[in-house]
Amino acid sequence: MTLIDTVQASYPIGSEAIDFNLPGIDNQDHNLASFKDTEVLIIVFTCNHCPFAQGYFPRLIKIQEDYKDRGVQIVGINPNDSENYPDDSFEAMKPFAEEYGINFPYLRDESQETAKAYNAACTPDIFVFDKERKLRYRGKIDETTGAINEPGYTPEEGNEHYLRDALDAILEGNEIETPEIPVIGCSIKWKTE
């Protein structure tokens, strides 16, 4: 287990969302404009093989269900090196998403350019943008590790609802009490040059 300090000076709260053009498991290309009608856009750098990412998928699915009617859209982006981690290949993403019942776009960042642009550090790494696509929150879903292989793991959220609290604050026009919380996860598997 690795605690990764995702609070990065190079992508601070208030930064504008960086555009991307990535293929999804729905066989469509997606960019920021694809989600222009949403009130809140959540970009989650995630993957298939990491136990932390696996553990958080049920929670993200539930959050998408609970907030979709309020204009919230989650987008998962898998940036991992698929040559060394074939479980994270685009081809493997489709059956993985079906198995988990993922209810939001799941995109592939094969070049890793999008993950680098956002200064993403780990999976999962969550970025929450308001209607103007300004970064308002970066951090954890809740206080638990979320790792599916940890003793006592449950797909239910913990007691501290960091992501839900951030979403509620944005949707109600309020400031987020703690806009940055370091996450626990697997480091992004960067390609070697």
For the purposes of burial, counting CB atoms within 10 Å of the CB of 185, is it exposed (0-12), middle (13-18) or buried (19 or more)? buried
Residue 149, Cα to own-chain centre: how many angstroms? 20
| Fold held by 3-7+38-187 | Glutaredoxin (3.40.30)
pLDDT in tens, the chain (193 residues): 444 555 555 789 999 999 999 999 999 999 999 999 999 999 999 999 999 999 999 999 999 999 999 999 999 999 999 999 999 999 999 999 999 999 999 999 999 999 999 999 999 999 999 999 999 999 999 887 777 777 777 777 778 899 999 999 999 999 999 999 988 899 999 998 6
Four-point Cα dihedral 46, 83, 107, 125, nearest 10: 20
Cβ(46)–Cβ(53) below 8 Å: yes
Give residue limits of the domains in the chain.
3-7+38-187
pTM of the model: 0.94
